[in-house]
Amino acid sequence: MGTTHTHRTVTLAWIAAWLLVAVAAAGSAFAQSTAAGQNRVVMQVSDADPGKWNLALNNARNLQADLGAANVEIEIVAYGPGIGMLKSESVVGNRIGEALGTGIKVAACENTMRGQKLQKGDMLGGISYVGAGVVEIMQRQQQGWAYLRP
Amino acid sequence: MGTTHTHRTVTLAWIAAWLLVAVAAAGSAFAQSTAAGQNRVVMQVSDADPGKWNLALNNARNLQADLGAANVEIEIVAYGPGIGMLKSESVVGNRIGEALGTGIKVAACENTMRGQKLQKGDMLGGISYVGAGVVEIMQRQQQGWAYLRP
Amino acid sequence: MGTTHTHRTVTLAWIAAWLLVAVAAAGSAFAQSTAAGQNRVVMQVSDADPGKWNLALNNARNLQADLGAANVEIEIVAYGPGIGMLKSESVVGNRIGEALGTGIKVAACENTMRGQKLQKGDMLGGISYVGAGVVEIMQRQQQGWAYLRP
């Protein structure tokens, strides 16, 4: 009887261990699905067109107005011909400052900067830098962010 | 013997309950993955360019031709400078009517309409309205829709 | 005693079977989440603008430079007004050849080709063909690829 009892206890323990694995795996997958439901948007700015720069900033402002600035994470990534949006002399410099103030992340592509011989001192203050704009945009989508090309 | 049996039965019931939790969680995650495989496309129209409006409508028609209209869900969202696509006098008004007839959803951004002092009476009949075009586009992606910017 | 033992063994077998279902379902969902984290990008080329064609090729090159060509899967899909990128006389013909040599997939839309009376003999060598460019782009996103519109 004692042997049988021990045997069953071991079997139950083994089942319980597998249960934990199943629950953990399911929980992990579930958490990722839930994370994908968060309000996160990565915006691409790759045109040398101040009209597009203003549109991107309008889109960001509307996302914040509709959802509440605290409830949406926004990252604007400028690269290629769009890098001018973030130069010191940018015509939307004031609006970038305002956007940064509301918690929007604004990132310049260092690949593009190297290609155009731009230093950080040539750029607007307060912005972020990413190694490669396209990689950043790809990775954000992999992390579940929505993509918007204004 | 009776006590031991009851004890084991309770343990087995506890294990079964946890099993149901694991199966439910896994099933939920699995269902979401599967849903992401459906044919659903949200299209962004944000340019004041009738050429782009026609391209968007061509893209939608090609999706339907290739997959069968019953097998793909399409939503065209017009906002910002693209709102003109859905005004009463739009040069693609007839095509919008045809698209609506095939089950395509066509939505105008009320934020943009307010900004341009447009009323529903100024717009094409049969279209839908969304509070903010960018929010709609973000949410559709969160729900697993593919994104297309013609 | 023998009967009780058999009864319990059957119950344990039943639990084990459900466990396998739970683990399999969780594993499947988990695998899909993981697959979504791979470096895969589908790029849309739908403008009759050689500047955009070069941008797309630059973007692809930067993705490879930053991640390593072996670590990122890239597919460029040309359709609609963008089909000219892949015609024999394309101004970016040499660059397409180089891109193909590094493992980038470059696909032309057969729908568009039919509409423009183009045969495969009118196109660059080494490229791929897809029935409908928009369907390809939608399906890649469904499979977890990031989307980029240069």
User: Rounded to a whole number, what is the distance in Å from the CA of C68 to chain B's nearest CA?
Assistant: 27
Q: What is the model's pLDDT at position C18?
A: 72
Q: In this predicted model, what pLDDT tens digit does every residue of B118-137 receive, in sequence order?
A: 999 999 999 999 999 999 99
Contact A23 B25 (CB under 8 A): yes
Q: In this predicted model, what pLDDT tens digit does every residue of B7-23 receive, in sequence order?
A: 766 666 776 667 666 65
CA contacts within 13 A on the Cβ side of A14? 10
Q: What is the model's pLDDT at position B18?
A: 72
Contact C134 B62 (CB under 8 A): yes
By Cβ distance, the residue of B15, B37, B148 closest to C137 is B148
Residue C16 has pLDDT above 80, yes or no: no
By Cβ distance, the residue of B80, B131, B141 closest to A147 is B141
Contact C131, C93 (CB under 8 A): no
Contact C132 B66 (CB under 8 A): yes
Subunits with 3+ Cβ pairs within 8 Å of C are A, B
What average pLDDT does the structure give for chain A? 88
- In chain B, the residue whose alpha carbon lies closest to the alpha carbon of C46 is B150
Q: What is the CA radius of gyration of chain A?
A: 24
Subunits with 3+ Cβ pairs within 8 Å of A are B, C
- In chain C, the residue whose alpha carbon lies closest to the alpha carbon of B59 is C134
Q: How far apart are CA C103 and CA C53, in angstroms?
A: 18
Q: How far apart are CA A135 and CA C64, in angstroms?
A: 9
Q: What is the model's pLDDT at position B34?
A: 45
Q: How far apart are CA B23 and CA A66, in angstroms?
A: 37
Residue to mutate among C47, C66, C142, C147, with most A CBs inside 10 A, is C66
User: Rounded to a whole number, what is the distance in Å from the CA of A51 to chain B's nearest CA?
Assistant: 10
C150, burial (CB in 10 Å: exposed 0-12, middle 13-18, buried 19+): buried
Which neighbouring-strand residues pair with B106?
Answer: B76
Q: What is the model's pLDDT at position C14?
A: 75
Side chain identity at residue B18, one-letter code: W
Q: What is the model's pLDDT at position B147?
A: 98
Q: Taking Cα atoms as reference points, which of C113, C84, C42 lies closest to residue B62?
A: C113
DSSP of C75-125, one letter per residue? EEEE-GGGGGGGBTT-TTHHHHHHHHHTT-EEEEEHHHHHHTT--GGGB-T
Contact B134 A27 (CB under 8 A): no
Q: Which of C11-20, C25-34, C125-134 has the highest mean pLDDT?
A: C125-134
Mean pLDDT, rounded, for C88-106:
98
Q: What is the model's pLDDT at position B33?
A: 47
Mean pLDDT, rounded, for B55-74:
97
Q: How confident is the model at residue B3 (pLDDT cuts 50, 70, 90)?
A: low
Q: How far apart are CA B150 and CA C79, in angstroms?
A: 10
**Percentage above 70 pLDDT, chain A:** 77
**Residue A105 backbone phi and psi in degrees, to 5:** -90, 130
Q: How confident is the model at residue C111 (pLDDT cuts 50, 70, 90)?
A: very high
Contact B113, B144 (CB under 8 A): no
Q: In this predicted model, what pLDDT tens digit does every residue of A1-42 receive, in sequence order?
A: 455 666 766 666 776 667 666 656 655 555 544 444 599 999
User: Rounded to a whole number, what is the distance in Å from the CA of B60 to chain C's nearest CA?
Assistant: 8
Among the residue ranges A32-36, B25-29, C9-13, the one predicted with the least confidence is A32-36
Between C15 and C60, the more confident residue is: C60
Side chain identity at residue B106, one-letter code: V
Residue C60 has pLDDT above 70, yes or no: yes
Residues 5-44 of C with CB under 8 A from A: 5, 8, 12, 15-16, 19, 22-23, 25-27, 29-30, 32-33, 36-39, 41
Residue B31 has pLDDT above 90, yes or no: no
Q: How confident is the model at residue A85 (pLDDT cuts 50, 70, 90)?
A: very high
What predicted TM-score, i.e. pTM, was given to this entire model? 0.80
- Residue whose token pair is 């009776």: B2
Contact B11 A12 (CB under 8 A): yes
**In chain B, which residues have their Cβ closer than 8 Å to the Cβ of A49?**
none
Q: What is the model's pLDDT at position A14?
A: 75
Q: In this predicted model, what pLDDT tens digit does every residue of A106-136 receive, in sequence order?
A: 999 999 999 999 999 999 999 999 999 999 9
By Cβ distance, the residue of A28, A133, A141 closest to C30 is A28
Number of Cβ pairs closer than 8 Å across A and B?
80
Contact B43, B59 (CB under 8 A): yes
Residue to mutate among A66, A140, A147, with most B CBs inside 10 A, is A66
Q: In this predicted model, what pLDDT tens digit does every residue of A48-71 receive, in sequence order?
A: 999 999 999 999 999 999 999 999
By Cβ distance, the residue of C29, C80, C141 closest to B33 is C29
Between A87 and C8, the more confident residue is: A87
Q: In this predicted model, what pLDDT tens digit does every residue of C36-55 receive, in sequence order?
A: 459 999 999 999 999 999 99
Q: Taking Cα atoms as reference points, which of C16, C68, C37, B126 lies closest to residue A15?
A: C16
